[in-house]
Amino acid sequence: MTATHCPYCSLQCGMTLTPRPETDGGGYEVTGTNFPTNRGGLCEKGLSSAELLAHPDRLTTPLVRDHRDEPFRAATWDEALARVVDGLTVAQERYGRDAAGLFGGGGLTNEKAYQAGKFVRVALRSAAIDYNGRFCMSSAAAASNKAFGIDRGLPFPLSDIARADTVLLVGSNPADTMPPAMRWFAAGRERGARHIVVDPRYTATAAASDVHLQPVPGTDLALANGLLHLAIKLRLIDTAYVADRTTGWDAVRRAARQYWPDRVERITGVPVRVMERTVRLLAESRATMILSARGAEQHAKGSDTALAWINLALALGLPGRPYSGWATVTGQGNGQGGREHGQKADQLPGYRMLADPAARAHVAGVWGVDPDELPQPGLSAYEMLDRLGTDGGVRALMVMASNVVVSAPRAEHVRERLRSLDFLVVSDMFLSETAELADVVLPCAQWAEEEGTMTNLEGRVLRRRRAVPMPEGVRSDLEVLHELAVRLGRGEHFSADPETVFEELGRASAGGKADYAGISYARIEAERGVFWPCPTPEHEGTPRLFRERFPTPDGRARFHVVHHRAAAESPDDEYPYRLTTGRSRPHYQSGTQTRRTKALLDAEPGPAVEIHPDLAARLGLADGADVRLRTRRGSARMRVRLTSGIRTDTVFAPFHWGDDQTVNALTNPALDPASRMPEFKVCAVALDVTTGEDPGS
């Protein structure tokens, strides 16, 4: 029996893997453990996770193509790595150092995320790195850094949710996306807590709430400003807190005058009476939390939207109070740690900024290189993908822990850009839609086959433990990056040992915002996780931030004036409805894993677009009918699911499927100017009735 953590979402639920006797069919039994985040609970994804360890589709040998139009053939590791080095080197010799790059993922361990950033900047000496977390947490991170001086998803333990008297969730559906977290919401309701959900859909989370606000997609910013206007009008502002702990209030107070209730109702569709009830619940509770997530943040104004909700939280005096505050609910398994230690184009380990000379000097010193060797910041995720294979763009790309053909916006365009590359190498457990386009595919270790650390949504650093030996022919990404660095003549700067890499990560992060210097494998074992920042071995860690001051130069949080603006694309005669996207309960991210898990695929074998019965009646669509969704960028085919829980002007579709069911073939790549987040959550769509085979079959 081995204690470890679930490979899926940012809860990182505690679990054990126990070998089953061959007489019982072999494999591994998964059980939940009494870890602080899940207290023994697991969702269906966690419970079925061991099925993938011996899946027949598992890659166990490197694959290469001799020509782009030929099928893969098996290769030795020596041949595969030689081809990778040759592909990267030739691209840099022809087009410059930034012609070779890496696209990473929020599922990588801290060690691998750190090593990936270091590999690109030290072994390749390239600026070309970013990762799929740019599509997840970047807007909330930008807002949190602006307002509080630091980005940590939850600035308090998850269990504090049970102690809050009022919780407002904005664009968050944890009942489907992280079911074990709902025990904390349920515990709060048992105490008499009131929950409010802001979502264009009547989700499972909304069904358990006291109040459901159902705004037009893309209008959350106006709603937050409208609630702030009402808080001022009703004299609900915590004036002492604002005076003592914040700066910038006067400008925000003046800006809020523009968001009088009737105007906000016209913009959002939320009735004034519901807004008034909401703001009173928030302001009059002893302990209030505002929790934001991707529904509000995956927009071309996502960072401003997050700032609007932070403004409301600050005006009500929430951040730093017991069982109160604003927080963002991290999605990916290591979405928190993955963005702290160097995968983002503009960051170095410890959440240091690459353009900062002092940060460059510190990290270069740990790495044993000259600071001048380090590149300047590169392009964000979509910008990198958009320019693949072009003059000045990446010509040879490594992809790790990401399936961008399914997960990126304007996905068909991204597919074409990947095809235009001189060289593509993908590291994966399975032949994903992205791996199918590669010149070289490297079979990598799964979660239960490797050692390392993850950082969950609370900022708690956890141990991932090896429970299962790697299949013969498989290597860890850490080993691969080390070996490639050796072949590139920079091997002396890299280790393949996870604990050695983590110790170096601690030194590199020391003094930064995300300071891991006081965290060790032994300490994580002894304390069941350690909260960062933790600057020394004697430091107790920091479960709760902002109690006495904010990590800003003057110790105060910052208000920011932000204004509503329309979505980058609005409905018109040709595309008359709004499309919003998200997750379904049985599946996860691009579906590379969950679409190969029988129980999860049986639960939802294909994507369904949610349509209100009134809209379906106007279009002549029946439940289960075949429909094609079409936008200015592409189309996708799926079955209809009728539900009265969605707005009549909006349809919802999940993003877990590929090929002709790729919803991100439709989504808009318009970018947030601060975070470079694409506008996943709203675009104009047409619905075309089709005939043919059931798309879910």
pLDDT of residue 24: 76
Contact 442, 426 (CB under 8 A): yes
State phi, psi for 609 to the nearest 5 degrees: -90, 125
For the segment 117-159, what is each residue's pLDDT rounded down to a tens digit?
999 999 999 999 999 999 988 999 999 999 999 999 999 999 9
- Answer yes or no: is pLDDT of 212 > 90: yes
3-state secondary structure of 79: helix
pLDDT recorded at residue 692:
54
Q: Is the dihedral of CA 188, 193, 196, 202 positive or negative?
A: positive
* Mean pLDDT on 211-229: 98
Domain 577-689 top-level CATH class = mainly beta
Residues 6+ apart with CB under 8 A from 457: 10, 11, 12, 153, 154, 158, 329, 330, 335, 336
pLDDT > 70 in the chain, percent: 99
Convert the pLDDT of each residue in 329-351 to its tens digit.
988 889 899 889 999 999 999 99
Give the model's confidence band at 231: pLDDT under 50 very low, under 70 low, under 90 confident, else very high: very high
Lowest model confidence (mean pLDDT) among 13-27, 363-377, 380-394: 13-27
Q: How many CB atoms lie within 10 A of CB 31?
A: 14
The answer on pLDDT for 403 being more than 60 is: yes
Amino acid (1-letter code) at residue 544:
R
- Mean pLDDT check: name the lowest of 321-330, 331-340, 502-511: 331-340
pLDDT of residue 51: 93
Exposed/middle/buried for 330, CB within 10 Å: 0-12, 13-18, 19+? buried
Mean of the pLDDT values across residues 494-522? 97
| pLDDT at 207 exceeding the cut of 50 | yes
Residue 113 has pLDDT above 50, yes or no: yes
Residues 529-535, mean pLDDT to the nearest whole number: 97
Give the mean model confidence (pLDDT) for residues 524-543. Answer: 97
pLDDT tens sequence across 246-288: 999 999 999 999 999 999 999 999 999 999 999 999 999 999 9
Q: pLDDT tens for residues 620-663? A: 999 999 999 999 999 999 999 999 999 999 999 999 999 999 99
Q: Can you give the pLDDT at residue 183? A: 95
Query: What value does the mean pLDDT take over residues 372-393?
Result: 97
Specify the CATH class of 138-328 in words.
Answer: alpha beta
Write out the CATH class of domain 63-135+334-531.
Answer: alpha beta
Residue 694 has pLDDT above 50, yes or no: no
Averaged pLDDT, 231-258: 98
Q: What is the pLDDT of residues 594-610, one digit of tens each?
A: 999 999 999 999 999 99
In this prediction, residue 193 carries a pLDDT of 98
Q: Please, where are the H alpha helices in 510-664?
A: 521-527, 598-603, 613-619
The closest alpha carbon to 409, from 217, 678, 197, belongs to: 678
424-463: per-residue pLDDT in tens? 999 999 999 999 999 999 999 999 999 999 999 999 999 9
In whole angstroms, what is the distance from residue 667 CA to residue 683 CA? 6
The confidence band for 25, taking pLDDT boundaries of 50, 70 and 90, is confident
Q: What is the 8-class DSSP label of residue 640?
A: E
Measured CA to CA, the distance from residue 158 to residue 18 in angstroms comes to 27
Kindly report the average pLDDT of the chain as a whole number: 95
- The pLDDT assigned to 695 comes to 47
What does the pLDDT average to over 234-243? 98
pLDDT for 697: 39
Q: Is the pLDDT of residue 404 over 70?
A: yes
The DSSP code for 332 is S
Beta strands in 458-590 (DSSP E): 460-464, 530-531, 557-558, 577-582
Task: Taking residues 19-23, report their average pLDDT.
Answer: 84
Q: What is the pLDDT of residues 75-111, one digit of tens each?
A: 999 999 999 999 999 999 999 999 999 999 999 999 9
What separation in angstroms does the CA of 274 have from each of 189, 229, 245, 261, 269? 20, 14, 30, 10, 11
Domain ranges of the chain: 2-54, 63-135+334-531, 138-328, 577-689
- For β-strands 608-611 and 530-531, DSSP reports them as unpaired
Strands across the sheet with 423-428, in order? 73-74, 63-64, 440-443, 423-428, 396-400, 100-104, 129-131
pTM: 0.95
The verdict on whether omega for the bond into residue 695 sits within 30 degrees of 0, i.e. cis, is no
Model pLDDT, residue 471: 95
Report helix, strand or coil for 282. helix
Pick the CATH number of 2-54 from 3.40.50.300, 2.40.50.100, 2.20.25.90, 3.90.550.10: 2.20.25.90
Q: How far apart are CA 499 and CA 265, in angstroms?
A: 54
User: pLDDT band at residue 691, thresholds of 50, 70 and 90?
Assistant: low
Pairing of strands 460-464, 452-455: antiparallel
Q: What is the DSSP letter of 646?
A: B
